[in-house]
Every structure is written in C-alpha cells, then in structure tokens.
Structure 1
Amino acid sequence: MKLNRRAIFGGITAGTLALGLAACGGGSDDENGSDGDLASGEINASGASFPDAFYAAAIEAYAEVNPDLIVSYNPTGSGTGKSEFGEGLNDFAGTDSLVKDEEVEPGTYQYLPTVAAPITVAYNLPEAGDLQFEQETLAAIFQGDITTWNDEAIAAANPEADLPDTAITLAVRSDGSGTTTNFSKFLDEATDTWTLGSGDTIEWPGNSIAGEKNTGVAQIIQDTEGSIGYIDLADATEVGLVTASVENAEGAFVAPTLEGATAALDGAELNDDLSYNPLNAAGAESYPITAPTYLIIHTEYEDAETAAGVKEFITFLLTDGQDLAADAHFAALPEGLRQQALDALNSTIAD
C-alpha cells in the first residue's frame, strides 16, 4: 500500500516535532531559542502484523521529519514480538494481545495503545454477494460445526444470497498472533457455543489452511474459492477482499469500517495499565470485532540514546502520527486515551 505520506505531512518539520516533544516533556529550547536536539542513531522493533500498515506509514513520515534516527519495525506477529522483547532482542514491541508472565517479566514493561481497527471476516464466494453473519453462526463456522456455504444458519441471515453447496475452507494464522487472540476472544465472549478457547494460537478444525501473518491469510482467501478468514481491514482492503457485516451486541449487523471501530472505542472501558477491550462493545453502531493494538516499552533502558529515540518516535506516533491512521485504515485514539498514553510514555522514559 503506497500512501501519499509527503502530502499529508508536508507541513511538519523537525522544529514542530521538537516543540511537540518539549510540550510533552521530551525536549527543551536552548538559550538561543532553538527547538532542541532531536534523537539520532537506530532503534528496532518487531511484533504484530495487524498494525503494520500504520507503523510503516508513520516510520516513512517520521523519516522526513528526523532522518538522523532510523526506525525499523519487523511485522513478525505478536507472539514473536513479545518473545523477542522478553529476550532483549528489540527496543520496543508491537502486540495486539496482552503479555503473559512467561513472555515478559512482570513490572518491566509499559503498554502504550496506538490505534485500533476492525478485524474483518473476509470470504471468497463470487456469486453470493454481500453477506452478514450472526455471532453464533460465526462460532459454528470457525469451530467446524458448519462446513458448507448453503447451511441453513447462513441462509437464514442472508435470504437473498445465492449460497452454493461449496465446502467451507477456513483461512487462519499459522504463527502466534494477536489477531487470532482478539478474534477467538470475541467468539469466546460473545457466544454461548464457542469451544476452542482464545489465545495467540488455536487448534483449528481440519477444514482450515494456515498462513503466516495477516498477509498470508489474505493470500489464502484470495486464492481459495469457498474460503473465509479473519484479517485486518488494511490487508483486506489492500487486496480487494469482500468482507461481511457482523452482528454486534445490540443485534445490529455492522460492516467493518473506521466509524464502527471508533464507536466501539467509545464503548470500551480502560484499565489502569492502559489496556482495554473494545470487543463486542455496546452501541448500535459499534463494529463488534474491533481490536486494540499496543506498543510495549521497557521501564528501564541501559542506553540513554536508545531511550531517547524510543521516546521521540512514539511521541510522534501519538501526536502528528495519529493523522496517518485513517489513510492506513485504522482508527485514531480518542483524545483522552491518546493523552494518557503520552503521559505514561513520559513517566516511563523520564528526561
């Protein structure tokens, strides 16, 4: 996906970033009235592939603001990112799922929410047209209880659709994934019949094909007629997949849009550690499979230059970088949550 980042950020300069950092406690003016020094060097991160389109756009835009700090993000999946963070192999990590004690030592990291987005239910059924799914029907499909497209449960919610007797192929993740966690958590919390639990990995039924990262799932759906899978909005849009409307907590069928994700954010409760759960949130306009995504940073950095670089880049991500979210198919954080994330960043990495 190639966005016109230069046009979006044409008015942002190193000076405006430095002033923003100063306002957040991350920079200072010298006696001659300059805007303060920006960070330099190199910082690296790995983790969730779900927000990769947003992070790639932000890194590209940030490079125009401060070319002296090289930022890299490797979308390895949430599980690998958390594991590498716990082993000290990256400077910060991206994750769509919460950290377990065996992954990272408790008390050594801080969650920083960045954006949110719908997890779409995408499918390849050329003659069917636009479909909608009840929550219980999705649970039955993804645990292998419904195996053909003309099943009466699918037909009941889609009376006008031309549903063939084609076998259903599930497109799922092969790697440890926060997208999998949030999708399975939604089915676990929203339905009475889901039996496969929730987590970064799931033992899917035999009619599934597994792909690596969201891009791998997208490829399976694109190549396999009769397939259905779960994938972030950015990757679904990038390859032109057809996505379904999903029943929400109010019984309304809602399409996966940024407006639906924003409505879900408004209905979510924030925890003390800045984690939150917008899945199946209240509100008639809420898209029910809206997933948060986070960066996790260390509470202590051995290298002051690395700490300064991490703080500067994430400050950019939480301020000017939020303007990139919509073009990358993500919902920006509500103002109150964005400010709390900035406060947490500034208190964790003090000057």
Structure 2
Amino acid sequence: MNIKRLGRPAVVAVAAALVLSSCAANEGTAPAGDAPTETATALSGTLNAAGASSQGSAQETWTASFQTANPDVTINYDPTGSGAGRESFFAGGAAFAGSDSYLKDEELAGEFAMCAPGTTAVDLPVYISPIAVIFNIEGVTELNLDATTLAQIFKGDITVWNDPAIVALNPDATLPATNITAVHRSDDSGTTKNFADYLNQVAPDVWTEKPADTFPFQTGEGAQGTSGVVSAVTTGVGTIGYADASRAGDLGVAKIKVGDEFVQYTAEAAAAVVAESPMVEGRAANDLAISLNRKTTDPTHYPLVLVSYAIVCTDYADAKVGELVKSYVGFMASDEGQKEAAASAGAAPLSAELQTKVADVIASIK
C-alpha cells in the first residue's frame, strides 16, 4: 500500500531528501500520455504527493500499475485533503498536489518551492467524479432532494426528516421524526467547495456563502476526510453527508432534482456537465481549470460533480523530479490510466479533447 498517512512535517522532510534518477534505455523517453513501460524508460526514486482524498481509490490503482511497470519507483500519495495537499506543494513537501479545486488567483501569484525560480504551477484535470449525497435513515431506502432542500438541510434550517419540505419531495416514503445529522468535511476540502458551488449556483437564495474549501456554517457534524464522512454517516442515526461517489458503498444515495426529474448519479451524466463547461477565464493557455456550469435542466446530466486536478510545476527546480512527475501524471491522464480509474473508482474518463489538452501540457513539463 503506497497511499500513506504521513504527517505534513514528515512529508516535507521526506521530500527534502527526494532523490530521483533516470536513464534512457532506448535513448529516449515515452510520450507523456503513454502508459509507462520499462522498455521505454528506466525510472527510479521516490515521488511524494499529497491532496484530495477523492482521488484515493484511483491513486491506489494508478500507483500499483505504475510501480509494476517501474519497479524501482515508489509513489507515496497522502490523501490529506485538497487544502493540505496544496499547502504541502507550496512548501515543497509534495512534488504535485491532488486537488478538487483549482488554484485561486492569489495562490497562482505566490511562489512554489518545487518549481524553478520565476516559473509557476498549472491545474491539470485528471479525475472526474460525481459527488454522492449519502444517507442513513432507518426504514428509508430511496430519497429525493432538490437543491433548495439540500441547502436548507446542510445550513441547519431543516432539522428533522419528516419536515414538510422533504415529505413533499418523497410522497411515497415513510419519513421518521428523527433529527437530521448533516455531516460535512471538517478539513479544507475541494469536495466541500464543489458541493457548496452546486448549492450556491442552483439555490443561491439559501446558500448565500461564497464557495470555499472550508464548510461555512457552524451546523451539523464535521468529519476528517472522505473516509471520516462516510464513517460518520454509516455509524450515525438519521445522517446525511456528501462524498466522492466511489466511496458511497452500501449507503443510501439520494437522487437530486435536475429540471423536472430526480436523477441518480452516473459517471456519464457527470462527464456531460464537464464537457459543456468553459475554461476559467483569465488563465494561461496551459492552465486547464474548468468553470463548472451546474445550472443545467437536462436530466441526462448530473451537476453535482467534481473535477480533481493534478497541480504541477511547468518547470521543476530539480529536473529529475520533473521527469518523474511528468511520467507518473502522464500515466494518470493517459487512456490506460483513465480506464483504470473508471474501473476502480467509477470515475468518468476525460473526453478525448480534454485528454489531448492535458497531454500537450504534460509533454512540456521540464
């Protein structure tokens, strides 16, 4: 198992001692988007990365495949959450960060310890997944929610399961008079930011707070990481939470209202929203941050979706670090890597157009 719960000081210490070596077996290296092969390159060393826990299942698969093809490489991905991953990357404790939210303008204007002086970092989408609204309510197996009601639940305005607003959306269900425990992320989380962005776009009169990695209200119950939210919902009574769909397990999953229908998540429905969303304005051409449009009324779409990024340097201070990042992140975004994430985590593969854009940027990493 190479997904490790390292403390941030430990990550920084390990990364400070990062030693990478590579040699061309055939006088060249594989293209960035290709799956890694020992005949194309011979890599060795340790690569430390940290960030989004949503990527956890996919990272387990990617790590295993990459290390099988490159047995002298060790990949350590620490799923501490998007916020902690970005901080570790800024400080030089991670060679790249996994993040469910792209870099803010003020973050882009800062310095990145791993990057060559005078250069910056970019956001590369590598993982697309629905966010599941998970619940555990005795006697209830199906649940319909619209954005307004969901926002009221997590804001603390609706506090019992048989509230008239929930009953109206679920006329065939027997909803108990149980208190609602709404479980949110206690750590800075890109999943929280995506969840809040959906509510802010679709139910702005209720969810008035600007989307951020930090949950904005002093309500409900906080839990650390995706696994913490899933555990709290599983073991609690009358609980509801939000998590990457790959971690929903056997919990109940609510349908959300899109247009006039209640929609169950699928990878394809989530990918459709991403495909129709524009890039964030004002960014460099090689920064592929996506501005998700969640206001669709098309029931073939699932707007409660996250795009998770690999945040990488365009030019690494240590070229050997850059070479290993280029190879590993290139594998994550490749056809093979995307298929493996789909199989292991139910992720939606990048579209052909987006995959080409990502591969072009990865090919330029130094």
Report what 1:69 is aligned to.
Answer: 73
C-alpha contact 1:40 1:305 (8 A) present in aligned 2: no
2:292 corresponds to 1:275: no
C-alpha contact 2:32 2:327 (8 A) present in aligned 1: no
C-alpha contact 2:202 2:295 (8 A) present in aligned 1: no
Q: 1:69 & 1:84 partners in 2: Cα distance? A: 21
Q: Deviations over 1:209-244 (max 9, x none)?
A: 11100000000000111111111111112xx11110
Deviation at 1:304, TM superposition (A): 1.8
- Say what the alpha-carbon RMSD is for the aligned residues: 2.4
Q: 2:238 & 2:43 partners in 1: Cα distance? A: 50
Candidates 182, 185, 209, aligned match of 1:196: 209
Candidates 343, 346, 349, aligned match of 2:360: 343
After TM superposition, the structure 1 stretch with the greater mean CA deviation from structure 2, 107-116 or 192-201, is 192-201
Deviation at 1:259, TM superposition (A): 2.2
Deviation at 1:72, TM superposition (A): 1.1
Q: 2:86 & 2:40 partners in 1: Cα distance? A: 33
Deviation at 1:300, TM superposition (A): 2.3
Deviation at 1:108, TM superposition (A): 1.3
Q: How does 1:114-125 map to 2 (within 5 A)?
A: 114-125=126-137
The alignment partner of 1:54 has SS state of helix
The alignment partner of 2:138 has SS state of coil
- The one-letter code sitting in structure 2 at the alignment partner of 1:62 is F
Q: 1:223 to 1:346 in 2, by over 3 A?
A: same
Report what 1:290 is aligned to.
Answer: 305
Candidates 334, 341, 345, aligned match of 1:325: 341
Candidates 61, 67, 85, aligned match of 1:81: 85
The alignment partner of 1:325 has SS state of helix
Q: How does 1:31-180 map to 2 (within 5 A)?
A: 35-103=39-107, 105-106=109-110, 108-180=120-192
Report what 2:113 is aligned to.
Answer: none
Q: 1:178 & 1:293 partners in 2: Cα distance? A: 8
The alignment partner of 1:316 has SS state of helix
C-alpha contact 1:122 1:244 (8 A) present in aligned 2: yes
C-alpha contact 2:32 2:326 (8 A) present in aligned 1: no
**Which ranges in structure 2 are unaligned for 5 or more consecutive residues?**
2-25, 111-118
Report what 2:257 is aligned to.
Answer: 247
- The one-letter code sitting in structure 2 at the alignment partner of 1:189 is Q
Q: 1:177 to 1:203 in 2, by over 3 A?
A: same
C-alpha contact 1:47 1:74 (8 A) present in aligned 2: yes
After TM superposition, the structure 1 stretch with the greater mean CA deviation from structure 2, 213-222 or 264-273, is 264-273
Q: TM-score, normalised by structure 1?
A: 0.86
Candidates 286, 310, 314, aligned match of 1:299: 314
Candidates 253, 256, 260, aligned match of 2:265: 256
Q: 1:58 to 1:25 in 2, by over 3 A?
A: closer
- The one-letter code sitting in structure 2 at the alignment partner of 1:263 is A
Q: 1:311 & 1:198 partners in 2: Cα distance? A: 31
Q: 1:75 & 1:227 partners in 2: Cα distance? A: 24
The alignment partner of 1:247 has SS state of strand
Report what 2:14 is aligned to.
Answer: none
- The one-letter code sitting in structure 2 at the alignment partner of 1:227 is T
Q: 2:265 & 2:159 partners in 1: Cα distance? A: 24
Deviation at 1:265, TM superposition (A): 2.2
Deviation at 1:254, TM superposition (A): 1.1
2:247 corresponds to 1:235: yes
Q: TM-score, normalised by structure 2?
A: 0.83
C-alpha contact 1:119 1:233 (8 A) present in aligned 2: yes
C-alpha contact 2:51 2:83 (8 A) present in aligned 1: yes
The alignment partner of 2:43 has SS state of coil
Q: Matched residues, percent identical?
A: 36
Q: Deviations over 1:124-168 (max 9, x none)?
A: 112122111111111111111111101111111110011111111
Deviation at 1:91, TM superposition (A): 0.5
Deviation at 1:253, TM superposition (A): 1.5
Deviation at 1:195, TM superposition (A): 2.7
C-alpha contact 1:172 1:229 (8 A) present in aligned 2: yes
Deviation at 1:269, TM superposition (A): 1.9
Q: 1:52 to 1:168 in 2, by over 3 A?
A: same
Q: Deviations over 1:260-315 (max 9, x none)?
A: 21222222223442111335253321112011000001122122211111101111
Deviation at 1:341, TM superposition (A): 0.5
Q: 1:120 to 1:233 in 2, by over 3 A?
A: same
Q: 1:57 & 1:276 partners in 2: Cα distance? A: 25
The alignment partner of 2:124 has SS state of strand
Q: 2:168 & 2:272 partners in 1: Cα distance? A: 27
C-alpha contact 1:267 1:281 (8 A) present in aligned 2: no
